[in-house]
Chains A and B, each alone.
Chain A
Amino acid sequence: MINLESNIGKPADDEPAQERAILKCCDLSMLYEPGKGFENANLEIFSGEVLAIVGESGSGKSSLLKTLSAQIDSQHGSLNYFPASSTTSLNLKNISEAKRQSLIRSDFGLVHQHPMDGLRSRVSAGGNIAEPLMQNGERNYEQLRAQALHWLDAVEIDCDRIDDLPTTFSGGMQQRLQIARCLVTQPRLIFMDEPTAGLDVSVQARLLDLMRKLVKQLQLSVVLVTHDLSVARLLSDRIVVMQKGKIVEAGLSDRVLDDPQAPYTQLLVSSVLQS
């Protein structure tokens, strides 16, 4: 039932799903201890889509995101990535740690909830954006500056701030800077854990606007964890609903939000409508 639902989200119906999936997990489980984590997750993330993972606190959203992005190991099930350059998929559980790291570096982007977790506090904004490029071998200072300026502009930070420390930035600016640092290497797949939580409502709105724009412009594939259904509605193509470590519903965002099937989702949606 869940798999049927998730297939609705694919761009066309005449090719097998594997051809367009970018990441796929089957029966994936990761439990810190019984009841803590998630179990039997079946998911596909398609190229160019935004997939939101929603659910209450402790339902296992972050655990699922960390496992999907290969930051932590799972105990059961499979996790396959489909590189752009190859027709066969990579089993992320079987490849060497070194290969996994280099793949994460080149293809994945990570945006943390707390921006300073993804930034260096004693390095200027420009240095923060340029670091992933240096990591990938760029050794031209002027080129690094140009890229830093380009991405500052893309996330609507004044170019004058390029040499300022991120600790002098507001929370919203720090989050935009983190996104710039994440995007500079042009990753194929971006993982975000509650990127707008902890920000004022008006700042949130601006960040959401920006994220929506960038996702469209750059045709990003994104997995987004949020407990905020309005964020999911605004940004995502598809939604996965989690409860107590299980995926209880998955489908196109408007379908899930307007016509929730699982009792838990119905509760979740109605509580938002009431508040």
Chain B
Amino acid sequence: MRSVNEHINQSAQSEQNYNFAYLDEQTKRMIRRAILKGIAIPGYQVAFQGREMPMPYGWGTGGIMLSASILGPKDCFKVIDQGADDTTNAVSIRQFFEKVCDIEVTQKTANASVIQTRHRIPEHSLVEGQILVFQVPIPEPLRFIEPRETRTKKMHAYSDYGSMQVKLYEDIVQYGHIATSYAYPVIVHGRYLMDPSPIPKFDNPKLHMSPALLVFGAGREKRIYCIPPYTDVKSLDFEDHPFSIQQWDQACAQCGSHDSFLDEVLIDDQGGRMFVCSDTDFCQQRQGNSND
């Protein structure tokens, strides 16, 4: 691999059109500009010109374009899908970046400088300097209420968010509590309503005052939005039905953790099941295993 990379670098120097991290420099600059704008206006959806990526929409093209624009030769990259490093989606994205920029990759949250994720935030606390890149299927939290883009834009402009609260109201009417448990809407920096992508609401508190930079990319709709480090992020709720996160009666069957997000898995064809951490790296660290 190393030799290929050296070869590519050499080629780049000799004015050939191979480029580090797949995208051309022009495109990366354009995307970085959109990210900077997103950082300047926390939670605001910035439109950008997406590029064709060598995989279909729904496979994280938005996140991949962001990662490709952010990554440098010295970065250490981690990819998770639903918390796991070893699922098809995570593996193929990780291999893609190993191939197109030959950077160091890791499964350890603590070692990574850039983490691309689908549907989870790692359990291990993120620190300053780290960047978390979210793959976003539908960036517009108001879409299900108002299909017209012209209208949702105005709703954002005038903080016209009563209709979002109505969704939670209707939850309580139907179920007696706020049943929304994924893609739970938040207000960023007291201003913009934001869809945190389909992470479980368990992860919402990690968005608040995060030391790491959080960037969100939607490939199909070509939108980027960001939460800069140490930003106030509030999950919508009611005074008498406050926001709360998922809880489990049992601990992780593998590592015994009481405070991580658990997945229910079937263990035989007799209907036997157990609960294990969705964050595979976290779980293995606790069991004393090391992947790297």
Contact = CB atoms under 8 A, between A and B. Distances in A.
Interface string A142-154: 1010000000000
Contact of A126 (B158, B173, B237, B238): B173
A162 to B, nearest CB: 8
14 contacts: A101-B160, A120-B145, A126-B169, A126-B173, A127-B169, A127-B170, A130-B166, A131-B162, A133-B162, A134-B165, A139-B165, A139-B237, A140-B238, A141-B172
B249 interface: no
Given A132-B162, A135-B161, A127 B238 contact: no
Contacts, number: 53
B241 interface: yes
Interface string A81-103: 00000000000000000100110
A124 interface: yes
Nearest to A142: B240
Nearest to A124: B173
A248 interface: no
A8 to B, nearest CB: 39
Interface residues of A, number: 21
B127 interface: no
Contacts of A101: 158, 160
Given A120-B166, A163-B173, A139 B158 contact: no
A226 to B, nearest CB: 29
A141 B172 CA distance: 9
Contacts of B239: 139-141
A135 B160 CA distance: 7
Nearest to B174: A163
A144 B240 CA distance: 11
Interface of A: 98, 101-102, 120, 123-124, 126-127, 130-136, 139-142, 144, 163
B158 A124 contact: no
Nearest to A163: B173
Size bracket, chain B contacts: 10 to 19
Interface in B158-192: 158, 160-163, 165-166, 169-170, 172-173
Interface in B132-173: 145, 157-158, 160-163, 165-166, 169-170, 172-173
A167 to B, nearest CB: 14
Point out which of B157, B161, B239 has the most chain A C-beta atoms below 10 A from its C-beta.
Answer: B239
Contacts of B165: 131, 134-135, 139
Point out which of A124, A126, A140, A141 has the most chain B C-beta atoms below 10 A from its C-beta.
Answer: A141
Contacts of B241: 141
Nearest to A162: B173
Contacts of A98: 157-158
Contacts of B240: 140-142
B162 A127 contact: no
